[in-house]
């Protein structure tokens, strides 16, 4: 099959280019894209990409495979290869450090803005703050996010305003803390989100939902934040 | 955070609410006019003038014009902040948009009460 990989080494190349490589998959097996990358790296050790857990847990190997963001380690070739061809690019919208490795600083800056930790002004109990099973269930579909950035880098609103729009990943996390019964900073959290960019740049295109490798739904969480803002204002 | 860049309402939420409410007004007016044209198929000048001579209709039309202006301004403000990263050019486009919106509103009021 033919693999076309985005290559860019800022120390050697004037501009990024696509490298076409013909490769035979041993035994014609339906391997994961990450395994394919290893085969490519065996041929050309200069190819750069991130990976760690190789089982969809760490969120390191988000990339754009034949036009769709996803995790290379849990994406089988059969799910993305079309006409025996695969185009691999870094996640779109963020600066490229080298080949498939992107600079996630802007993504993390947005995550930091939403204060991704519990804030509680009441005196700490002797052992731990308890939640009822129902309260705990509120966090399902939120806490599973692995911060792979597949969603935010698929979101046009994030492409145009990565410095002001929190993005689907950050907003999913924002709601994860707004919805937590053990958090007492709801009012402050909402006040921080009530500008024209942080939340309201989401136009509900749902690119985020269609790419999330963990099957999460940032658009729904964003809708809930909007409802909370509405409730607070009216 | 970026609270100083409010486009029209006092916050992102107000912009968002204004956008929804004005959209409903635009829809209601459109439905009304389409309905009117359906029940009066060959509308002539007299009927058209009688319709707009009605004060309720004038208020409805003024509401439409104001809704249209607010809706267009918020929408275009969004578009310019998305697609024009150069501050100078963005400011220029926004200024021209704002000025045109104002002219259109004043002109429309003139027309509505000139019928
Ligand atoms: S639904 Fe909102 S956050 Fe998700 S991709 Fe669309 S604009 Fe971005
Ligand atoms: S919401 Fe999904 S796509 Fe977005 S960062 Fe979290 S796990 Fe990745
Ligand atoms: S290598 Fe960890 S998610 Fe793919």
This complex has an ipTM of: 0.80
How many domains does one find in chain B? 1
Can you give the pLDDT at residue B114? Answer: 87
CA–CA gap between residue A92 and residue A97 (Å, rounded): 12
Within-domain flag for B7 = no
Within-domain flag for B68 = yes
A195 vs B1, B17, B82: nearest CB: B1
Domain residues for B37?
12-112
Q: Which tokens belong to B25?
A: 């007004």
Strands A2-7 and A85-89: parallel
Ligand 1 atom closest to residue A201's alpha carbon, by position in its atom list: 7
Can you give the pLDDT at residue A181? Answer: 97
Question: pLDDT by residue (tens digit) across A183-216?
Answer: 999 999 999 999 999 999 999 999 999 999 999 9
* Chain B residues close to A157, C-beta within 8 Å: 82
Q: For residue B47, give the 3-state DSSP assignment.
A: helix
CB contact under 8 A, A230 and B17: yes
Dihedral angle at the C-alpha atoms of A78, A79, A82, A88, nearest 10 degrees? -110
Contact A212 CB / ligand 2 (< 6 Å): yes
CA angle, residues A87, A89, A94, in degrees to nearest 5:
160
Can you give the pLDDT at residue B2? Answer: 43
Ligand nearest to the CA of A173: 2
CA–CA gap between residue B92 and residue B72 (Å, rounded): 17
Can you give the pLDDT at residue B10? Answer: 67
pTM: 0.90
Contact A157 CB / ligand 1 (< 6 Å): yes
pLDDT at A51 over 90: yes
A92–chain B nearest CA distance, Å: 16
Within-domain flag for B29 = yes
The 10 Å Cβ neighbour count of residue A116 is: 13
Within-domain flag for B98 = yes
Question: pLDDT by residue (tens digit) across A141-192?
Answer: 999 999 999 999 999 999 999 999 999 999 999 999 999 999 999 999 999 9
CB contact under 8 A, B15 and A233: no
Residue to probe by mutation, ligand 1, list A207, A210, A211, most atoms within 8 Å of CB? A207
Instruction: For chain B, 115 residues long, give each residue's pLDDT as a single digit of tens.
Output: 344 455 677 688 999 999 999 999 999 999 999 999 999 888 889 999 999 999 999 999 999 999 999 999 999 999 999 999 999 999 999 999 999 999 999 999 999 998 7
Within-domain flag for B1 = no
Lowest mean pLDDT among A6-10, A45-49, A101-105, B45-49: B45-49
Q: Which tokens belong to A22?
A: 């013909």
Contact A219 CB / ligand 1 (< 6 Å): yes
Dihedral angle at the C-alpha atoms of B108, B109, B111, B115, nearest 10 degrees? 140
Alpha carbon distances (Å) from A230 to A13, A94, A215, A233: 50, 32, 27, 5
Can you give the pLDDT at residue B43? Answer: 87
Q: In this structure, are residues A196 and B7 in contact, taking their beta carbons and an 8 Å threshold?
A: yes
> What's the full length of chain A, in residues?
234
Give residue A36's Cα distance to chain centre. 22
Within-domain flag for B28 = yes
Task: Give Cβ neighbours of residue B16 (< 8 Å, ≥ 6 apart).
Answer: A200, A226
B65–chain A nearest CA distance, Å: 24
Question: pLDDT by residue (tens digit) across A12-45?
Answer: 999 999 999 999 999 989 999 999 999 999 999 9
A90–chain B nearest CA distance, Å: 22
* Chain B residues close to A194, C-beta within 8 Å: 3, 11-13
Contact A216 CB / ligand 1 (< 6 Å): no
Preferred mutation among A195, A202, A205 to probe B, highest tally of B CBs within 10 A: A195
The protein residue with its alpha carbon nearest to ligand 1, atom 7, reads A202
CATH number of residue B87's parent domain: 1.20.1300.10
**Ligand 3: residues within 6 Å at CB?**
A 51-54, 56-61, 71, 73
CB contact under 8 A, A194 and B13: yes
* Chain A residues close to B12, C-beta within 8 Å: 193-200, 229
CA–CA gap between residue A57 and residue A102 (Å, rounded): 19
Within-domain flag for B42 = yes
Place of tokens 């921080």: A192
Within-domain flag for B40 = yes
């Amino acid at each position: 099959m033919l693999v076309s990989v985005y290559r860019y080494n800022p120390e050697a190349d004037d501009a990024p280019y696509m490298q076409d490589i013909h490769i035979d998959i041993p035994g014609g097996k339906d391997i994961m894209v990450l395994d394919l990358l290893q085969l490519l790296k065996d041929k050309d050790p200069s190819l750069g990409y991130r990976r760690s857990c190789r089982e969809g847990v760490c969120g390191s190997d988000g990339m754009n495979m034949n036009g769709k963001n996803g995790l290379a380690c849990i994406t089988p070739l059969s799910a993305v290869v079309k006409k025996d061809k695969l185009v691999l690019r870094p996640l779109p919208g963020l600066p490229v450090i080298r080949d498939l490795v992107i600079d996630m600083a802007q993504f993390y800056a947005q995550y930091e803005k939403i204060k991704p930790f519990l804030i509680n002004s009441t005196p700490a109990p002797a052992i731990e703050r308890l939640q009822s099973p129902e309260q705990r269930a509120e966090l399902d579909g939120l806490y599973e996010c692995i911060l792979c950035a597949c969603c935010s880098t698929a979101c046009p609103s994030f492409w145009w305003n990565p410095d002001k729009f929190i993005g689907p990943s950050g907003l999913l996390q924002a709601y994860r803390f707004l919805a937590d019964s053990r958090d007492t900073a709801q009012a402050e959290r909402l006040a921080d989100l009530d500008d024209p960019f942080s939340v309201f740049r989401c136009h509900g295109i749902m690119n985020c939902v269609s790419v999330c490798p963990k099957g999460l739904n940032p658009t729904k969480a964003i809708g809930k934040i909007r409802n909370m803002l509405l409730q607070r204002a009216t | 955070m970026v609270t100083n860049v409010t486009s029209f309402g006092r916050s992102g939420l107000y912009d968002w609410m204004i956008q929804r409410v004005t959209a409903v007004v635009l829809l209601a007016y459109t439905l009304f006019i389409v309905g009117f044209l359906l029940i009066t198929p060959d509308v002539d000048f007299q009927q058209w003038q009688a319709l707009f001579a009605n004060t309720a209709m004038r208020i409805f039309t003024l509401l439409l014009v104001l809704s249209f202006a607010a809706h267009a301004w918020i929408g275009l403000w969004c578009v310019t902040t998305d697609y024009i990263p150069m501050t100078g050019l963005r400011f220029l486009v926004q200024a021209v948009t704002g000025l045109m919106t104002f002219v259109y509103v004043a002109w429309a009021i003139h027309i509505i009460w000139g019928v």
